């Protein structure tokens, strides 16, 4: 089976369509969406339509909860808060219901998905260090070899030997090619962001997990960035949300 993993679409329809087009040529057997379908971008309803038509394996992100009033946005920065309020006004009743029904985690055989961290998923932890990965591996269900997540908008891979309880983060070079998964190790893979990458690369990110080859690969695809920016500005969303897309920040 080849799984197609996508996360942090953030209402960016141009990026999502570019990713779906690229994935159409990847012999994907099953798609999983790791949350934050909405928030920041100008096309929340269209992105919800695409994702709900693509797969039922979808989990909630913090921005999905913010957009339906399920998460207190007082801790959001002013741009994120303004975007959350704007998104809340745009959502259709169906969209609101759909987002409200998404679970925090899902398991698909040996693959576990969560938006932020398996360690207290509802607290939206930014998993960025090996010591946080230690806690995350501890919280992973037994028998799970791979946990895929998003939230930071920056691709990353953590690994741990099954016989040890210390994890390490793989160097950035490990993200450039397909990574062979060793059978005596467990992995946490941050698949990056479709709609608002923050690792300095403005191209949309997605991930393919091949269970037969035992490989994961994070891929990047360019998209019509100007059109996404134009829509953000036309919607009256903060200009910074349009600007940051071209810098991948």
Residues in touch with Zn ion (CB under 5 A): 8, 36
Spatial distance between the Cα atoms of 81 and 86, rounded to a whole number of angstroms: 9
Minimum distance, C-beta of residue 10 to Zn ion, in the bound complex (Å): 6
Q: Return the number of the residue (2 or 198) whose C-beta is nearest Zn ion.
A: 198
Minimum distance, C-beta of residue 122 to Zn ion, in the bound complex (Å): 15
User: Which residue is nearest to Zn ion, using beta carbons?
Assistant: 36
Q: Return the number of the residue (51 or 181) whose C-beta is nearest Zn ion.
A: 51
**171, exposed or middle or buried, with CB in 10 Å at 0-12, 13-18, 19+?**
exposed
Gyration radius (Cα) of the chain, Å: 17
Minimum distance, C-beta of residue 92 to Zn ion, in the bound complex (Å): 21
Q: Return the number of the residue (8 or 119) whose C-beta is nearest Zn ion.
A: 8
How far is it between the farthest Cα atoms of the chain?
54
Q: Return the number of the residue (181 or 191) whose C-beta is nearest Zn ion.
A: 191
Interhelix angle for 13-24 vs 44-54, to 10°?
20
Minimum distance, C-beta of residue 150 to Zn ion, in the bound complex (Å): 6
């Amino acid at each position: 089976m080849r799984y197609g993993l996508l996360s942090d679409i953030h209402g960016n329809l141009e990026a999502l369509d570019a990713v779906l087009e690229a994935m159409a040529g990847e012999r994907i057997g099953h798609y999983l969406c790791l949350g934050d379908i909405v928030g920041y971008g100008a096309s929340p309803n269209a992105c919800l339509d695409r994702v709900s038509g693509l797969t039922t394996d979808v989990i909630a992100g913090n921005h999905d909860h913010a957009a339906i009033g399920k998460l207190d946005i007082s801790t959001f920065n002013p741009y994120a808060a303004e975007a959350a309020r704007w998104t809340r006004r745009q959502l259709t009743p169906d969209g609101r219901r759909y987002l409200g029904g998404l679970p925090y985690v899902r398991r698909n055989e040996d693959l576990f998905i969560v938006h932020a961290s398996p360690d207290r998923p509802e607290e939206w932890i930014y998993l960025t260090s090996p010591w946080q990965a230690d806690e995350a591996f501890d919280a992973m269900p037994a028998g799970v070899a791979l946990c895929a997540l998003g939230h930071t908008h920056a691709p990353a891979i953590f690994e741990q030997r099954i016989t040890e309880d210390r994890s390490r983060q793989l160097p950035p070079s490990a993200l450039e090619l397909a990574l062979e998964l060793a059978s005596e190790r467990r992995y946490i893979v941050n698949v990056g962001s479709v709609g608002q990458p923050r690792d300095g690369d403005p191209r949309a990110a997605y991930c393919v997990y091949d269970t037969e080859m035992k490989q994961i690969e994070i891929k990047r695809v360019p998209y019509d960035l100007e059109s996404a920016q134009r829509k953000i500005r036309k919607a009256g969303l903060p200009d910074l949300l349009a600007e940051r897309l071209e810098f991948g920040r």
